A and B are shown apart, each in its own frame.
Chain A
Amino acid sequence: MPVPEHLIIAPILIPFVTGALMLLYHERQRRAKLGLGIASAVSLLIVAVELLNRAKGNDLAGGKDIGFYLLGDWAVPFGIALVLDRMSAMMLVLVALLAIPALIYSAAGWHKQGQHFHSLFQFLLMGLNGAFLTGDLFNLFVFFEVLLAASYGLLLHGTGQLRVRAGLHYIAINLTASLLFLIGVSLIYGVTGTLNMAHLAALIPKLPEADLPLLHAGAAVLGLAFLIKAGIWPLTFWLPTTYMAGAAPVAAMFAIMTKVGIYVIMRLALMLFGPDAGASAGFGSGVLIAGGMATVIYGALGVLASQGVGRMAAHLVLISSGTLLAVTGFALAGGSPEMLSGGLYYMVSSTLAVSALFLLIEPMSREEGGIAAMLALTADAWGLDEGDEDSQQEEGLAIPATMTILGLCFGACLLVLAGLPPLSGFIGKFAILSGALDTQVALPNALWGFMGLLLLSGFATLIGLIRIGIQTFWGVDVTVPRVLAVEIAPVIALVAMGMVMTVKAQDTMTYLNETAHALLGPVSYLEGMTAAPRVTQEPEVAP
């Protein structure tokens, strides 16, 4: 009787249980909730690192380094299966790495701005982890709903006119996208009769020609839903406003939200329409490349056209997203694994840096008083019940040499995001470029264009951020803000992770190279899924 690897489901259940448990606490027990939340995030990190170590096994062919977890012990493809491979393990670690700093940062007072911040945050983690782990299309939809619903709540956290307006736009657009998601899944199910991704990949090459248009329509509509989440131009205009409107710790966590869309596109497109997909091979690569490049251009224009650092950071998300979409498109069109692994490296490093930048924005642009003043303002404007929120200035350790530390953190983010040496941004960009040069794809001109764009977008980022940096740190009448240690420590932690990625670049690249190979040739994923053993040993009747 095989023993199921219960650890695989832990990244979903830990935040689920924590989030549910917090509901039993009184809303005022925020300190307890904060403690629970951080405990949950830390244990998520431990579990994720352990899972990453397991996924790192060097036996690529046998499928042993991919873990499967059959929920309810139902055989594939009837039940839902969770899959742990290098890619999902990496994303789990990334989620945990973003969550801990964001939660610590929220202790500076943000979590007091509204109700149930901590529960919603945990449910967001649950949704993210679930989306990264699941191997089932409909279950993916469910986890998308979990993470989106939580993101609605978190975005509206603290309310205020700007947030409510941006939040309602965000909700409307994402509900539309979810509708498309459902339509796409139903079409695919209608044609193939399955929801399991691996099973689907096995069925697609065998489909009769007459079924292909419907399948493609389903895939296109489904893809559209993910592209909206990933923020592809021209379906991206909701994104900057939304990201700007979120409270700082929320925005920092949102840095990974577009990456969920990209993750799914990467995984599904390469699995379903990879080179083995027969007549459907390479489906959609042109759209990804063109759309990705348009997104990069739009993002770069936005970075240049932004006055505030918040808007700029939101457009930096777009640049990163567009770059990754184009890289995925090239990978689908026959790009080299090296280029894809460069893209993955870039994804991790830019996510960390954008997250750090979102946490920096508020201290950087803070005048006297900080959050306390802001809380007072919202309380005033929204007629809070007396004593409902305690809005006295947050007690805590204020850091010395504020401007220097803020400046250093900002500089590090700038280097990473503009892709300047010697930090991780440069390595990611360099890996993409050198991988691209080794690539023989169907669209060489597009590839050259993309490489130029990658360099120029970095340059635009430099110009934009340096403008802001000079204004903020070299301004003439800079009043030094009071910044708490709990606000700057998370930023330093995020920046430090980028540094670790730089120093440990070889190990990271090796891991990512194997990830890219596995993504491009998901043999062990597909075979492993079909052979995933049940605990109950009974002969199964295939339909």
Chain B
Amino acid sequence: MIEQNLILILVLLPFVGAIAASTISVNSRNAAAWLAALVMLGGLAALSALHAQVAEGRVPRAVINWIPALHLNLSLRVDGFAWMFVGLVLGIGLLVVIYARYYLSKTDPVPRFYAFLLAFTGSMIGLLVSGNIILLVVFWELTSLLSFLLIGYWYQNPAARDGARMALIVTALGGICLLAAMLMIGQIIGGYDLDLVLASGDLIRAHATYPVVLGLFLIGAFTKSAQFPFHFWLPGAMAAPTPVSAFLHSATMVKAGVFLLVRFSPALGGTGAWFFAVTGTGMATLVIGALIALFRHDLKGLLAYSTISHLGLITALAGIGSNGAIVAAIFHIANHAVFKASLFMAAGIIDHESGTRDMRRLSGLMRLMPYTGTLAIVASAAMAGVPLLNGFLSKEMFFAEAVEWHNGTWLDNALPYIALVASIFSVAYSLRFIMTVFFGPAPVDLPKTPHEPVPWMRRPVELLVLTCLVVGIVPGLSLGPLLNMAAQSVLGPETPWFSIAVWHGFNTPMIMSVLAMALGAALYFAFAMRISDGPEGPPLLHRLRAQKMFERSLLALSWKWPRVLHRLAGTERLQPQLRLIVLAAIAAGVATLWAGMRLAPQPQLTALDPAFAVMWAVGALCGMGAAWMAKYHRFAALVLLGGAGLITCLTFAWFSAPDLAVTQLLVEIATTVLLLLGLRWLPKRKEEIADDRLASARLRRLRDLAIALVMGLGMAGVAFVVMTRPTTSNIGDWFLRNAYHEGGGTNVVNVILVDFRAFDTLGEITVLAIVGLSVYALLRRFRPAPESAESPIQQATDAPRLKDAMFVPSVLMQWMFPVMIVLAAYFFFRGHDLPGGGFSAGVTLAIGLLVQYIATNVRWIEARLIVLPIRWMGAGLLIAGGTGMGAWLFGYPFLTANAQYITLPLIGPVPVATAMVFDLGVFALVVGATVLMLIAIAHQSLRIARIRAQDEPQPSEQAAE
């Protein structure tokens, strides 16, 4: 139990600390630093409490269920390897915290820095102790994200922004590949538990998808640990504050990649593919990194490429995969972390105190800052692999592994030579760092006069350098037990005990070391001048800047090409989109019907009535004419559209559907009149559109005609087939049979509308209400085209005569008003049994009002009669809805109708249905919505009038509300 909590503290404490740090006020640097340091110390305490168990070879665990359904739980485990690594992270983290306190300036938002740093530490620890490979990916991605924030900490600096973005993109790509690899591993072995994965190496290696898994996994690991060819993001990340660089380059981030390689080597390693891919990449990175490092003038640049090179070394060892190689890899992980952290901190001190990191400007600092100089010299000697320092030991082990025979392939045979070459460069760049910065004449013309930093800024470096020495001199006593503990947890409990000694005798690795040092020194002293005069990077190769290439290809891949492709694959114009819809519909029809055409039943035809045929011919001509005229002659098109509507109406009547016919007729009238009113405000048509005469336009129209013909004929054909096939039993029959005795009405259409499917009607009247409101809202902001603002020619020139001509019709129309009200009432009351109903009644009344507006003018009518259409609509909807809810009182579902005969005095028994109340709601709504649209259009004339003469009094627009 207690160990479980200790592990949780280990992982969660940094995150809690991060949240706490982010709430600290911007100015309190010390509080934030103390908090961060205490968190690191707390972590170290928890870790040391776990040591006893881990040293015994047990693996403390903690499991918290997160999503058991997906086998994704917070499963954490601390084995020897993880223990050592976490210790490294927390230890160096603590030093970085102290160092950063003195490094960051007063103007920086320091608490934010510590918040990011702590969260980053937490995710790194989580990554190390994950016992579930998906959880590992979760933490893996978190380290990528948080390192993005850390690298971009000084975001005012463009280099920081670019560096952060590049780091994130490269490592996130790797993370995606890693996720894919982990998913596939999980699929192969049937679970995501790390122990299971490590135990199922044979199963994974034998699986058909092993090469894919390996490839994806390695992309993940290589991007993170900056292996060639993904190495370029790491130098870019130097734009981060130096404490961040010291942390990322030593114990965290890049080490996550090699951690993964070492951790998974039992599961995925041991094959030829693994050896070639991992060792090959590692060796290539080792040499390239060392080579480039020699030629960098920027202090941090040199160190960054040196990191790349050393990571290559560790990767190569993981690729070799023998027991000795794994031990060496783990050992070098620790050693590199220690000396690289101290070097970065030293470089930061130099930068901080002298104002530059350019080695061509720095010189003779030994005289000005002797302590720092000594520390840096010892650390870089460790980097070069000088005896009695920790770097020497792991390097010797690397040489020994390189020399040893593994599998006899060409790569195996070439290992010693490659290692030697890389080592020579490594000695040379270490030497260059020491010689140029600390020796030589005193520096001139530096931005600041260098001096020793405040003591506490140097303490972390002192401690690290001391570690270098201790490990280098008494390795067996200092790091030996931990190293063996880590190695056993990776390689298995029966792994033999490795004793690390300073002196192995005068063997091949020793010769190689001596040779490397001699040749490295010779190389440096021979070319020192030329290197510092040369460009930033190795001769010839410096032109190939991976960073630039990445940015260029990123630009192409993520911006230029997508733009081109996106434009090619899409359109923003309406017509092509509608064309595509029609084509898709044709395709859908053809795909489903083509093969089944033979299955179509023989149609049962009746003789064609010539009158009906003529009627339909007229209707079809009207329809086509409307389409034909739509572009140039809107008025004609509208009239023809009305013609087609009338034919539809006649067709309904012909086939004994009087209800539909009535409704269709009324709707036809209302819409046509409204549209005609709207025409007034449209911009004037163009007499001629020149482009229409071009050949391409003709072709386009021809193509569209063909599409229209196919669609129209196809639709007609399908409709014909459906209508001539033998009727299947359907719910319509039931409606016919049950309308009277279940619904209490003889007009089936009306019973369907207000009873059987009243819910549909409720929806549809809502639609009408919405459309009314939308049209009104739109027209309220509408401004007619300037050319339509003028009075039409007829009105302007012939105004008096026009008034006379309109006099008789207008009187007639006014007289019609009561008649239409009565007609509406008539339609309404007979609706349930005979053609009519609330909808028809509503439209009729609305037409009555419409006619009044046409007959007179807005002012005249609104002075006498104010309709508040929106109130009508609201009331209508509420009546309809309320009727439906009335059924609840009687325990019935919404909209259950009830019909009865009640006896009225004088009249006798009268059928009364609740449906009629519902219909009243429909009626009110229809009146309201139609009149609302009418008023919205009619009031345009008022607005125009006002625009024409600004000084006219304000007309009442309140009527509409």
Residues of A within 8 A of B (CB): 1, 3-4, 6, 9, 13, 16-17, 19-24, 26-27, 69-74, 77-80, 114-116, 119-120, 123, 126-127, 130, 138-139, 142-143, 145-146, 149-150, 152-153, 156-157, 159, 164, 168-169, 172-173, 176-177, 180, 183, 186-187, 189-195, 209-210, 212-214, 216-217, 219-221, 223-224, 228, 233-238, 241, 298, 300-302, 304-305, 382-385, 415, 420-422, 426-427, 430-431, 433-434, 437-438, 451-452, 455-456, 458-460, 462-464, 466-467, 470, 473-474, 476, 505-506, 509-510, 513, 535-536, 541, 543
Q: A146-B766, A237-B570, A422-B142 are in contact. Are A437 and B187 (CB under 8 A)?
A: yes
Known: A71-B895, A142-B759, A535-B896; 4 extra A-B contacts, CB below 8 A, are A4-B891, A73-B896, A234-B580, A506-B69
A173–B69 alpha-carbon span in the complex (Å): 42
Q: Which residues of A contact B756 (CB under 8 A)?
A: 72, 74, 78-79
Q: A23-B871, A72-B893, A123-B769 are in contact. Are A16 and B961 (CB under 8 A)?
A: no
Q: Does B559 contact A (CB under 8 A)?
A: yes
A233 to B571, CA, bound (A): 11
The reply to whether the CB of B52 lies closer than 8 angstroms to some CB of chain A is no
4 cross-chain pairs, A with B, having the tightest CB-CB distances, nearest first: A213-B596, A193-B730, A23-B874, A153-B774
Which B residues are in CB contact (< 8 Å) with A430?
70, 72, 134, 179, 183
How far does the Cβ of A164 sit from chain B's closest Cβ, in whole Å?
8
Query: Is the pair B168, A234 in contact by a Cβ cutoff of 8 Å?
Result: no
- The chain B residue with its CB closest to the CB of A167 is B778
Q: B588 and A224: CB pair below 8 A?
A: yes
* Distance, CA A505 to CA B72, complexed state (A): 10
Contact of B595 among A77, A120, A213 (CB under 8 A): A213
Which residues from A are CB-within-8-Å of B763? 130, 139, 142-143, 145-146
Once the chains bind, are B572 and A305 in contact (CB under 8 Å)? no
B566 contacts across to A, CB distance below 8 A? 298, 301-302, 304-305
Cβ of B735 and Cβ of A78 under 8 Å apart? yes
Is B592 among interface residues, defined by CB-CB distance under 8 A? Answer: yes
A186 contacts B767, CB within 8 Å? Answer: no
Do A120 and B878 touch (CB < 8 A)?
no
A to B CB contacts below 8 Å, 8 in the list: A21-B874, A120-B774, A172-B574, A216-B592, A221-B588, A462-B169, A513-B69, A543-B734
Contacts of B72 in A (CB 8 A): 427, 430
A115 neighbours in B (Cβ, 8 Å): 773, 776-777, 780
Asked whether A189 lies within 8 Å of B730 as measured between CB atoms, the reply is yes
Chain B 567-598, CB-CB to A under 8 Å as 1, else 0, gives 10111101011101110110011011101110
Asked, given contacts A1-B891, A301-B562, whether A156 binds B186 with beta carbons under 8 Å apart, the answer is no
Q: Which residues on A sit within 8 Å (CB–CB) of B629?
A: none
- Chain B residues closer than 8 Å to A431, beta-carbon distance: 70
Separation of A219 and B596 alpha carbons in the complex (Å): 15
Complex CA distance for A363 and B387, rounded to whole angstroms = 61
Residue-wise interface mask of B (82-111) relative to A, using a CB-CB cutoff of 8 A (1 in contact, 0 not): 000000000000000000000000000000
CB pair A176–B734 under 8 Å, yes or no, is no
Indicate if B885 sits at the interface (CB-CB under 8 A).
Answer: yes
Q: B186: which A residues are within 8 A, CB to CB?
A: 434, 437
A235-B576 Cα distance, complex, nearest whole Å:
10
Q: Could you say which interface size class chain B belongs to?
A: 35 or more
Query: B897 in the interface, Cβ–Cβ < 8 Å?
Result: yes
Tell whether, in the assembled complex, residue B66 and residue A191 are in contact, meaning their CB atoms are under 8 Å apart. no
Task: Please measure, in the bound complex, the distance between the C-alpha atom of A542 and the C-alpha atom of B759, giving whole angstroms.
Answer: 22
Cβ contact of A220, chosen from B567, B578, B588, cutoff 8 A:
B588
Which residues of A lie under 8 Å from residue B137 when comparing CB positions?
421
Judge if B764 is at the interface, Cβ distance under 8 Å.
yes
Residues in A with CB closer than 8 Å to B591 are 220
Cβ–Cβ < 8 Å partners of A228 in chain B: 581
- Contact partners of A116 in chain B: CB under 8 A: 773, 776-777
- Kindly identify which residue among B176, B558, B588 contacts A458, using a CB–CB cutoff of 8 Å: B176
Decide if A383 touches B570 in the complex (CB within 8 Å). no
B558 near A180: Cβ-Cβ < 8 Å: no
A1 to B571, CA, bound (A): 58
Please report the C-alpha to C-alpha distance between residue A452 and residue B67 in the assembled complex, in whole angstroms: 24
- Tell yes or no: B728 within 8 A of A by CB: yes
> Smallest CB–CB gap between A439 and chain B, Å?
11
Q: Say yes or no: A217 contacts B895, CB within 8 Å.
A: no
Query: In the bound complex, do residue A120 and residue B766 qualify as a contact, i.e. CB atoms below 8 Å apart?
Result: no
- Which of A23, A80, A120 is the one whose CB lies under 8 Å from B760? A80
- Could you say which of A127, A223, A304, A433 has the most chain B C-beta atoms within 10 Å of its C-beta? A304
Q: A149-B767, A221-B589, A437-B187 are in contact. Are A543 and B733 (CB under 8 A)?
A: yes
Supposing A235-B580, A237-B572 touch, asked if A71 and B894 sit within 8 A by C-beta, the answer is yes
A-chain residues with CB within 8 Å of residue B870 when the two chains form the complex: 23
In the assembled complex, B686 has its CB within 8 A of some CB on chain A:
no
Contacts known (A115-B773, A115-B776, A149-B771); A214 close to B722, Cβ less than 8 A? yes
**Of the candidates A71, A114, A120, A156, which one forms a contact with B893 in the assembled complex, judged by CB atoms under 8 Å apart?**
A71
Q: Which residue of B lies closest to A435 (CB)?
A: B70
> B711: shortest Cβ distance to chain A, in Å?
11
Judged by a CB distance under 8 angstroms, whether B138 is at the interface is yes
Q: Beyond A13-B885, A176-B581, is A6–B893 a contact (Cβ under 8 Å)?
A: yes
CA distance A463 to B757 in the complex (A): 51
Q: Tell me, yes or no, whether B38 is within 8 Å of chain A by CB.
A: no
B728 contact from A186, A193, A219, Cβ within 8 A:
A193
Q: 1/0 contact trace for B160-175 toward A, CB 8 Å?
A: 0100110011001101
* Contact between B957 and A455, CB atoms less than 8 A apart: no
Do A301 and B569 touch across chains, with their CB atoms under 8 A apart? Answer: yes
Provide the residues of chain B in CB contact with A463, threshold 8 Å.
Answer: 169, 554, 558
For the complex, is B721 an interface residue (Cβ under 8 Å from A)?
Answer: yes
CB proximity to A under 8 Å, residues B907-961: 947, 957, 961
Asked whether B614 is an interface residue with its Cβ less than 8 Å from the other chain, the reply is: no
Question: Which of chain A's residues have a CB closer than 8 A to the CB of B783?
Answer: 382-383
Quick check: B893 and A4 within 8 Å, CB to CB? yes
**Across-interface contacts of B584 in A (CB, < 8 A):** 224, 234-235
B331 to chain A, nearest CB (A): 31
Could you tell me if A474 and B152 are in contact, using CB atoms closer than 8 angstroms? yes
Q: Which residues of chain A are within 8 angstroms of B473 by Cβ–Cβ distance?
A: none
**Closest-CB distance, A337 to chain B (whole angstroms):** 11
Q: Is B581 in contact with A183, judged by CB distance below 8 angstroms?
A: no
Q: Which of A70, A146, A193, A473 contacts B731 (CB 8 A)?
A: A193
A526 vs chain B, min Cβ distance (A): 17
Interchain CB contact under 8 A, B893 and A17: no
The yes or no answer to B403 lying at the interface (CB within 8 A) is no
Known contacts A237-B570, A427-B70; A153/B874 CB under 8 A: no
Which residues of B have CB within 8 Å of A238? 574, 577
What A residues does B168 contact at CB under 8 A? 462, 466
> Do B588 and A217 have beta carbons less than 8 Å apart?
yes
Counting CB contacts under 8 A, is B877 at the interface?
Answer: yes
Q: How far is the CB of B749 from chain A (nearest CB, A)?
A: 15
Q: How far is the CA of A434 from the CA of B885 in the complex (A)?
A: 48
B70 touches A157 (CB 8 A): no
Which B733-790 residues have a C-beta within 8 angstroms of A? 733-735, 737-738, 755-760, 762-764, 766-767, 769-771, 773-774, 776-778, 780-781, 783
CB distance from B551 to the nearest CB of A (A): 13
Residue of A nearest to B764 (CB): A142
- In the complex, the answer to whether B873 meets A23 with C-beta atoms within 8 Å is yes
Docked CA distance A50–B862 (Å): 50
| B221 CB, min distance to chain A CBs, angstroms | 17
Closest to A138 in B: B760
| B65 in contact (CB, < 8 A) | yes
Q: How far is the CB of A51 from the nearest CB of chain B, in Å?
A: 16
In contact, B574 and A426 (Cβ under 8 angstroms): no
Q: Would you call A13 and B881 a contact (CB within 8 A)?
A: yes
A211 to chain B, nearest CB (A): 8
Does the CB pair B68–A506 fall under 8 Å? yes
Q: When the two chains form their complex, are residues A213 and B592 in contact, meaning their CB atoms are under 8 A apart? A: yes
Give the chain A neighbours of B578 by CB distance below 8 A: 172-173, 176
Q: Would you call A191 and B728 a contact (CB within 8 A)?
A: yes
CB distance from B16 to the nearest CB of A (A): 15
Cα-based distance from A484 to B921 in the complex (angstroms)? 42
